[in-house]
Amino acid sequence: MLFNIGKQIKKARKIRKVSQAELAKVLGMSRTTIGQIENGSIQEIGVRKLIRVLEFLGLELRVKPAGKPPTLEEIRKEEIR
């Protein structure tokens, strides 16, 4: 799951043409931390820290039941991205 979140963070960051270093500086984190979030290798990350990254990039975290297939709306949104 964290790998998928990181993948979306990386995609949004690149679309906005922001480097890992720039994002880290704005959010008061290290570039290494941003890189670990993006590649899903970070051992521990607080929810508040993750939400700050997501909000900066115009993303949000959503919760849905595990194993539930995506809705048509979710599929359409994914196609747009």
The pLDDT profile of the chain, 81 residues, written as one tens digit per residue, is 788 899 999 999 999 999 999 999 999 999 999 999 999 999 888 999 999 999 999 999 888 778 878 788 877 877 766
User: Would you state the pLDDT for residue 31?
Assistant: 96
Instruction: Please give the tally of structural domains in the chain.
Output: 1
Can you give the CATH number for the domain in which 61 is found? 1.10.260.40
Q: How far apart are CA 80 and CA 66, in angstroms?
A: 23
Amino acid occupying residue 6: G
Q: How far apart are CA 20 and CA 68, in angstroms?
A: 33
User: Would you state the pLDDT for residue 51?
Assistant: 94
User: Would you state the pLDDT for residue 75?
Assistant: 79
Q: How far apart are CA 1 and CA 76, in angstroms?
A: 20
Domain span at residue 51?
2-80
Q: Residue 50: in which H helix or E strand, if any? A: helix 47-56
